[in-house]
Structure 1
Amino acid sequence: MNVKKTSVLSNGLIWFGAAVSMAEIMTGTYFAPLGFTKGMLANLTGHLIGCMMLFLAGLIGARTRRSSMETVKMSFGQKGGILFAVLNVLQLVGWTAIMIYDASLAANGIMETGPWVWCVVVGALIVIWILIGITNLRKFNVIAMTALFLLTLVLCRGIFAGNTAGFLSDDSLSFGLAVELAAAMPLSWLPLISDYTREAERPLAATAVSTVVYGLTSCWMYAIGMGMALYTGEFGIGQIMVNAGLGIAGLLIIVFSTVTTTFMDAFSAGVSAESLTGKLKAKWVGVIVTIIGTIGAVIYPMDNIMDFLYLIGSVFAPMIAIMITDYFLLKKDCTASGANPVNLVIWLAGFIIYQMLMQVDTILGNTLPDMLITMVICLTVNKLLKRRLM
């Protein structure tokens, strides 16, 4: 039976939709204390670091035709992969709730019905997107992404045109921490990207296009958020859109950008769950994750996600560093083993090093130094073990 593959265009549209999100715009508002020029430099630097890792992670899955959590097993073994599958499902449930929460507040700022109503509306649309399925979404995505692109251009005009009021820069956010915030968003997609590139007709091209489209669009979303804070003095997306005269158009941006992004979180949570046991089906787990996320968005406030982003970086940066080292440099595959205790210990060391680096203000943030250190440790340990066995 022939398996339907996704085109380069389809992958690009998927990752454009992933980047156009309220969470990315809101994270961009945190950059306002740096001023626009310095903030954009941090934005671009962080995304360059994060997207390089995103590309390599996606390429592993594209070449091996394995899902993200299946590629993790290549470095950590069957049982070792379970740890990261569980952590990934947990972070994706968290992301689903955060995205729905942010969208509900923004939508309620335009059309006040109560945030919980918008939580239910957005959650229901995400479920519909999941049930349509990734390979059947091309026509829907072409229409949705074209509309989002045009509406976001209008949003940019409303924010930047004629606005000269300034949010005065201060020292509340360092350049290094801003770089880390920019890198953290593409890092959060590391455990997901192979779930989509594995289905690509042209693995390398699809991975490259996915990464470039996501990186550029994500930088754009951060810039919109930063511009909101700098030039309008507002931090509420709904109010910004009302002031920009968007109204219903702004509501469509909020709702459909959230649906096209959060669908990926929920669906990939299902794919990760499949790697835990073959009895689970990705589509239906994704539906359950969306329902849980919707309930969480109704019940819990989720206004500040900075700590959540840093936690994601500390977990997944050393993980992908080990995977890149094993696949591209050491040419190792531990899928057949129960667990790889050596790599698990190296990952724990990388996790601790990341937390330590959080106390040090480096100009390149924490992700790149942590990954380089973890890769050096991995190469050194493997070299020592090889000598011992000789």
Structure 2
Amino acid sequence: MKRRQFLKRTGLGLAVAGGGLAAGNAMAGNRYYSGPVSDHFDGKIFFNPGGKEPRGVLDLLRWQFDGKRTAWPTSLPPVTPAKPERRIEGNRLVVTMVGHATMLIQTAGLNILTDPVWSERASPVSFAGPKRATPPGITFDALPPIDIVIVTHNHYDHLDVATLKRLGQSHAPRVITPLGNDTIIHDAHPFNNTVVMDWGDRVDLGNGIVFHCEPCHHWSARGMGDRRMALWAAFLIETPGGKIYHIGDTGFAEGQNYHAIRQKHGDIRLAILPIGAYEPRWFMKAQHQDPAEAIEGFRLTAAAFGIGHHFGTFQLTNEGIDAPPQALVHAMRAAGIAENRFQGLRPGQQFDVPLAVS
């Protein structure tokens, strides 16, 4: 592979693919976070208790040069951008797909954005790295007032400083993120209201809205010297209309976190789970679940409804653009789950989530 092609695919080797690119521990200390040792922080870096570390550079090169990447089409059907309502009140819950892991969640009068990325590339630079295959499912100017932004971790396909700066200037939202990510975010824009959470923390925002920060099996890095210096997390959101479980990225990890979320939080109305960026399995399995694992996780949570994301926008890994939704359908049929219960949303599509009935 030519050097230019390699740089375009890997984003200059800087941890673009969330579990796809490893970086070294070159720093003597942690540039993002300083805090007490815990069961998932050793004083310098975060880790998955009992879990698996991301693979290293030699495995990365083996993957990048294996020649097994499925080409995505150069021409795709046009996206019809959604025009979301300004507010969704009461128990109604509507989720609109923007693309990849970016979704607009509307309920109880709140507008919540997850891992917002409106940039053309999921990369530290504008000239290389994974390029957007489809335009955003909501144009930036069509966004309703954004109250809360969730940033689950610092990989470039989830933490986009250019988009966060735009949101800070035009919406001034509250930002909720795991430990250490606030340092990166504040370098882009000095948000006035940032909530920084560790696993197990809860924040009560009033009016029946409570955010819980929960474990998921992943990692973090933005460069060659900051591997696992910022925390990654899932979030459980209590709302008047039910609980929403949102994961930006995770490996299945024998379902341990899904078991724990069910035991701790009980009934869940909606589980939002990643289903893409999973091939080759020998490289990605520990950090990115595949659709079958996502459906098993959905089953373990006993959530009433689900949404699959993290596919079809940025080509980070080997599978074809339609492979995740196709595999999702097969996994749902094998598990006996009705198609209306778990939906893999495309950009611009909305899911008006039924009220779960116990």
TM-score range, shorter chain: under 0.3
Structure with the larger strand share: 2
TM-score scaled by length of structure 2: 0.28
TM-score scaled by length of structure 1: 0.26
Larger relative contact order (CA 8 Å, sep ≥ 6): 1
Structure with the larger helix share: 1
